[in-house]
Structure 1
């Protein structure tokens, strides 16, 4: 009998493959039957802890991100969650950018970054085994457990040190305020309002108090008006009819201030810290004139756009008379109860309570106050977020995008859900799984009640309806829980218009937001796994073909300004906001997942391209404890300088960048489900531990600085096929030896080369993989090209802001290799110069101005460095004579090249594109020239 699987391996199995609904998660955390938990994909990945990275490019890049993960205080990430729940934040400062109330769209995406961080921590632990990553994960899980519990109840008093004793704090982002009973003003004709407050944020128009019906009849005291000073106002006819008092200086932040307002006999006075700062002798309105008011709030405004007051309250008193200046002064040094005025006779709150959600009234009138949230009563069971449930509710009736109101709440939910599942995988902490399951229960309870037409409308709204890879995560949870509701939830995200079009191979991508839609298809593959419904898998395969290569830039990225344009338009979409990094991340996930179903090498060719170029190049080559230093967009315009701290930080792309940099090893090796074959997809220094076979496979290489790799088998006696990827760009020099002997067979570019044997310990496989320099042309403008050396995109480093012209045929080799036209830079692998400009690998994360594309310019016919003295003619479509000649490469000999030259010249002469005399010069120059191999 096979041993039971650990929780970690159960989750890994769930993430690897389609597990049937018969898989059940039981209380012990073990599978009901281990065999039922096994993946059904024909090819399966290894877990991250089974593949150790060796020293090299990937390990160097990962180390930079690990340093960030080790050094960053996760309490900063938790600040927005704790604040939303009304919990103490311990003075932690939110990360900023999208993770806080001051960033884009008022921080309406906050919480997403914590999910990314959890995933990064789980992957970092799997790759290194360092305890620090587990400790940080457990800190987050414990805090989120407390947050969810707090959200399930009415808000509770958060006690803090006050001016005289204990004060009540409303954390910014908690949306909490105090509701006073209706009788608090008592219809008084004269009044004094007195409060001790400690503001913690400088937002304008946050109310210390606001008593009124609506935006017509009210009185308020604001900590800051439009000029940043306190303001009191009373009106029965809206803002235009306000009778007011304005202070002369801003209230200091994080320090106690005393404010008082008196009204009597037509005169109003505003006091700050015992000093009268404003007086209005024409203040005819009194509380009595306002009549019976509906709302009496501390901290909340009747104007919905105004922020909730952030800070603390100590004493709040209301007297039915105007206190004298001396009495106001007396309040500065003691509690009201210990001064001549005594407690307020209309209302008096000391805020000494440290538990519960109510405040006792000491006036003798019994006007108990209650702590409230602006967004309503407790959240529904299972809800977990760093902002109120209102974004989810608003989306259900929304028909147009407005990310200042609703910014992709289910996208944020996905990131948190995915992070919790990964945290559970890393720690076996049941709380993480319970939080994840509760989120899905809550989502199902909402979405299952909505008509299908409503769901289709929601998911079709740009940005607001974006849900990321939530379907994939829900399917992974379903594989653990076995709950029918979880699989049903995954299907509630079906965007039928998109699925049906792609299943029919109808391209409707033009104008769509790229990263809103790419992760939908990873979810569809998982739904196919869980349901067997073919349209899901067919749609995903067809979609991939609509992006690669027709909407793909050379580095593997896609999208311009986050959106797709028409198929085949590459040069016409290049700008400063091309190639959103999240898109590459999600295209890699989709390519990997499709390969598990269909072992087409094209998926791994794309994987290598995007990983070695855009993904590696998106990470700056320096460590930073504060920021992950990852690009959002990678502009491909001439002279573009990469921005590694975009949009104030904490964007979606920095989140996926953290994940990418801690899972570089996830696709180096795959295995056949029956154990009969091992796929080597990437040539990367690494050690695979294949426990089921009792072997290790160690790759030693400096690829891509080295043109090949050496694999050594440890253990022995295991029979399996070793399938070595032959990249589509590989030339005739691809060669495999085992223990020094050449393995016979044809290495076809864009395939896998198979070595079959029973492996013994110490067996050594050498793969030689010669690079050649080649160009890739923009589909819509062949003259706009990008340069590749093997898998590596080479970019020109030059501050010019127009496309640089370069010619490459001048010293091209018989193989068609363009490298001889470039000059290598001593001591800098993969660096070359051409016409005085340095070309460097795209993966180097520098801040140099770069040119990913250049303008191909071959004005004259040159062979082997010899100028024929003839202009290089071109056809109407832009194809030149030299293009047509070199299209015949590789050439087995110089004679074969000369024959090609002669045949091409004759055709061009016949077409009147070249004179016979010039044609003879071209042939003669080719005959006399010396060519590199």
Structure 2
């Protein structure tokens, strides 16, 4: 998240037009729904060919394990935040929380950090929270999440009615939008509204709240009226400021309503200066604010799906390949101080401000879209890399709080949010990321199931009358077991992901019998047979140690074991506070955070030119725990999964001699 003064993209020329688009054909070549969206709620289906389709989130249950633990901690946080405090800034903006002096009415305590009444970004967190509650409800069927979402929606409807501004709804005055249109300084008002639109549509989609959709459509009517008079020059000037995924939000609203005005609004948020170079295969990311860019491409992907816009598809594919191949750290994250840098310069950007978590949250959104188009295992590989190493590792298991950055600087450590005084962008996206782990484990085509992730879970494919139960302690073990439950025998294929990192091969058993595998890593193993209740699949991918070198220096590298990036434990000496960003005058004080790394901490290993298996050895009896044997201050260093190394200093990238 960046202040508006950090605008770095200029605009010029014409773009796709200003609210003048006609409705596109709604012919259906595939029934893939937007990830998690119930197909029966869509009035505009996908109009392009797809190879994999998303299951509704309600069809998948995480049963136990690391991801379930994170979900439960996040859910407790979501439920702990009082509605009165969450709504305070909205009600103040509408003049509803201003009792006269001496009044017995007690004011709720305002939220702090980026939700403070003196912060221009206030209101963004409630949108994320609405999404998080809806995702938790879909993932768990716990009525507490639906009920809290309903309470917030009712309160927001009251504010919208009290404001009485043609459907406008926010925690800040409409003047912020006027400043954005005029090109004067303001901190990302459309970004904040994007979160609210997304939260409202998620409440409708996942929790069935019709009032949420009504609020969103009224807001869209206001937006259409507000933006229609703008000239091309005014529009592009406005779009220089960070607007999140407003294009994505309006495309999704259009899919739900079929209202052509919502399609026009989505296309209105086409930022020519950012997107046109990507359509032409040009990497224009150097120095660009990363999370200003990524949501725009999520919207482009949605544009392609709903309208068949080939330029949008080209931009989304080129962007994804560019970011993943040239701008991504070993743990799947990207950016330094929130910005992309020159491609293939990872080793030069191992700082304390790397890996903004929002970026990865949005990259995974984009990845899901791209996977459905092609069912290419490459996308599943990246999804696993970023999910296990970055998103899973965002949350502190002790407190349930989350990180903004995940530092790659040797000797640094994670800094966590607070329950009610931080509310950074990554807190908001964390409400969602930690609540929807079931969304990318399984996909399907018209015939069978894709198994992409190895997470203890149950899939209920109601249309086929089939349940698939997955049991595993992955990645602490290499074997995953599946049990089929079906009302009647069913002929269908199972597409089992064969990860690109699994160079040591695979063992596949069906009902105890070893099945020969002809496929190679980076593909899918197809098991096509008639399945009966009780049939079992056992899938084993031996994990091996490997190096993940920086793309600009092979002597700077992370160590991974199978899909898991390992971090070296460097102790707790001189650890300072864990919650920056509290000063309203300087919410970005993280940029100058002093990790006071002791001089005694080293991150150089004399490998003698030997392979990693010679100088990193497993510790007997401790899963996913290793120890260096090569020289590092004459002391061995213990390595554990990066996702599980909290509240201490660490090293991810080593200098190898």
Does structure 1 residue 659 correspond to structure 2 residue 439?
no
Task: Give the corresponding residue for 1:599.
Answer: 375
Matched, 1:793 2:578: no
Between the aligned partners of 1:809 and 1:47, the Cα distance in structure 2 is 52
| Cα offset, 1:826, TM superposition | 4.7
Residue in structure 2 matching 1:618, options 380, 383, 394? 394
Helix, strand or coil at the partner of 1:752: strand
Cross-structure match for 2:230? 450
The equivalent of 2:626 in structure 1 is 832
User: 2:582 aligned with 1:782, yes or no?
Assistant: no
For residues 730-778 of structure 1, give each alpha carbon's deviation from its aligned partner in whole angstroms, at most 9, with x where no partner exists.
0233121111112223231111111111111111111111000000111
Task: Tell me how far apart the structure 2 counterparts of residues 525 and 14 of structure 1 sit (CA, whole Å).
Answer: 13
CA distance in 1, matches of 2:377, 2:453: 12
Residue 97 (str. 1) matches residue 116 (str. 2): no
CA offset at residue 513 of structure 1?
Answer: 0.3
Does residue 841 in structure 1 map to residue 653 in structure 2? no
Confirm whether residue 515 of structure 1 aligns to residue 280 of structure 2.
no
> Where in structure 2 are the equivalents of 1:334-353 lying within 5 Å?
none
- 1:17 touches 1:529 (CA, 8 Å); kept in 2? no
Q: Match for residue 66 of structure 1?
A: 75
Counterpart of 2:538 in structure 1 is 766
User: Residues of 2 paired with 1:600 and 1:147: CA distance?
Assistant: 45
Pick from 428, 435, 440: which aligns with 2:215?
Answer: 435
CA distances 1:140-168 after superposition (whole Å, capped 9, x unpaired): 0010001011111xxxxxxxxxxxxxxxx
The normalised TM-score by structure 2 is 0.85
What is the alpha-carbon distance in structure 2 between the residues aligned to residue 560 and residue 829 of structure 1? 32
> Does structure 2 retain, via aligned residues, the 8 Å contact 1:118–1:422?
yes
Cα deviation code 1:763-814 (max 9, x no counterpart): 11111110000001111111111000000000011155665122457885xx
In 2, the alpha carbon distance for the partners of 1:511 and 1:702 equals 41
Matched, 1:138 2:138: no
Answer yes or no: is the 8 Å Cα contact 1:46–1:666 preserved in 2: yes
2:176 pairs with 1:391:
yes
The answer as to 2:139 corresponding to 1:127 is yes
Instruction: Specify the alignment match of 2:160 in structure 1.
Output: 148
Q: CA separation of 1:415/1:31 partners in 2, compared to 1, >3 Å: closer, same or farther?
A: closer
1:173 match: none
Residue matched to 1:703: 474
Cα distance, 1:18 vs structure 2: 11
Does the CA-based 8 Å contact 2:32-2:372 persist in structure 1? Answer: no
Task: Measure the CA separation in 2 of the matches of 1:147 and 1:472.
Answer: 25
SS at match of 1:557: coil
Q: Distance in 1 between matches of 2:249 and 2:33?
A: 10
Which residue of the partner structure matches residue 54 of structure 1? 63
1:690 is the counterpart of 2:461 = yes
Higher RCO (Cα < 8 Å, 6 or more apart): 2
Query: What displacement does 1:426 show?
Result: 3.6
SS state of the match for residue 96, structure 2?
Answer: coil
- Corresponding residue for residue 757 of structure 1: 529
d(CA) in 2 for partners of 1:91 and 1:774?
57
1:546 positional shift: 1.0
In the alignment, structure 2 segments of 5+ residues that lack a partner are 1-30, 99-105, 572-597, 630-635
Cα distance in structure 1, aligned partners of 2:162 and 2:122: 18
Q: CA contact under 8 A between 1:120 and 1:662: conserved in structure 2? A: yes
Q: How far 1:534 moved relative to its partner?
A: 0.3
Question: Alignment partner for residue 805 of structure 1, among 604, 620, 645?
Answer: 604
CA contact (8 A) 1:713 1:760 kept: yes
Using the alignment, how far apart are the partners of 1:695 and 1:805 within structure 2? 52
Find 2:357's aligned residue among 581, 587, 612.
Answer: 581
- Check conservation: 1:414, 1:468, Cα contact below 8 A: yes
User: Aligned to 1:396, what secondary structure does the other structure show?
Assistant: helix
More helix by share: 2
CA distance in 1, matches of 2:421, 2:110: 12
* 1:418 aligned residue (198, 203, 209): 198
Give 1:194's aligned residue.
none
Contact preservation (8 Å) 2:36, 2:439: no
Alpha carbon RMSD of aligned pairs, Å?
2.3
For residues 897-908 of structure 1, what are the structure 2 equivalents within 5 Å? none
1:509-531 per-position Cα deviation (integer Å, ceiling 9, x unaligned) = 11110000001011001111222
Q: Which residue of 2 aligns with 1:505?
A: 281
Partner of 1:728: 500
| SS across alignment from 1:711 | strand
What are the Cα deviations for residues 478-502 of structure 1, in whole angstroms up to 9, with x where unaligned? 1121111100000000012222211
What is the 5 A alignment of 1:148-547? 148-152=160-164, 379=165, 381-398=166-183, 402=185, 406-460=186-240, 465-547=241-323
Inter-partner Cα distance in structure 1 for 2:399 and 2:202: 24
Aligned to 1:113: 125
Contact 2:504 2:541 in 1 (8 A): no
Deviation at 1:13, TM superposition (A): 7.6
C-alpha distance in 2 between matches for 1:38 and 1:544: 22
- On the 8 A contact 2:32/2:54 being kept in 1, the answer is no
More strand per residue? 1
For 1:434, what is the secondary structure of its paired residue?
helix
1:708 to partner: Cα distance:
2.0
State the distance in 2 between where 1:737 and 1:37 align: 37
**1:737 aligned to 2:531?**
no
Deviations along 1:176-211, whole A, 9 cap, x unmatched?
Answer: xxxxxxxxxxxxxxxxxxxxxxxxxxxxxxxxxxxx
Counterparts in 2 of 1:2-41, with a 5 A limit?
Answer: 15-16=34-35, 41=50
Indicate how the Cα distance of structure 1 residues 604 and 484 shifts in structure 2: closer, same or farther if over 3 A, else same: same
Q: Could you tell me which residue of structure 2 aligns to residue 44 of structure 1?
A: 53
Using the alignment, how far apart are the partners of 2:433 and 2:603 within structure 1? 32
User: Is the 1:469–1:523 contact (alpha carbons within 8 Å) kept by the matching residues of 2?
Assistant: yes
Inter-CA distance 797–710: structure 2 relative to 1 (3 Å threshold): same
Whole-angstrom distance in 2 between the partners of 1:40 and 1:76 = 46
Check if 1:668 corresponds to 2:451: no
Deviations 1:415-460 (A, max 9, x none): 0011111111244332211111111111111222111122112212
Unaligned runs of 5+ in 1: 1-11, 24-28, 153-378, 813-817, 858-933
Deviation per CA, 1:549-574, whole angstroms, max 9, x where unpaired?
Answer: 21000000000001111111101112
Encode CA deviations 1:374-411: one digit per residue, 9 max, x unaligned.
Answer: xxxxx3x0100000000100111116xx3xxx111111
- The answer to whether the aligner puts 1:719 opposite 2:504 as a matched pair is no
Counterparts of 1:14 and 1:80, CA distance in 2: 35
Q: Which residue of 2 aligns with 1:355?
A: none
User: Deviation at 1:37?
Assistant: 8.5
Instruction: Return the alpha-carbon distance in structure 2 between the equivalents of residues 432 and 14 of structure 1.
Output: 20
Query: 1:342 matched to which residue of 2?
Result: none
SS at match of 1:388: coil
Separation (CA, whole Å) in 2 of partners of 1:549 and 1:740: 39
Distance 1:505 1:37, change over 3 A: closer
Shift of residue 65 of structure 1? 0.9
Distance 1:53 1:448, change over 3 A: same
Deviations 1:864-910 (A, max 9, x none): xxxxxxxxxxxxxxxxxxxxxxxxxxxxxxxxxxxxxxxxxxxxxxx
- Contact 1:17/1:40 (CA < 8 Å) preserved in 2? no
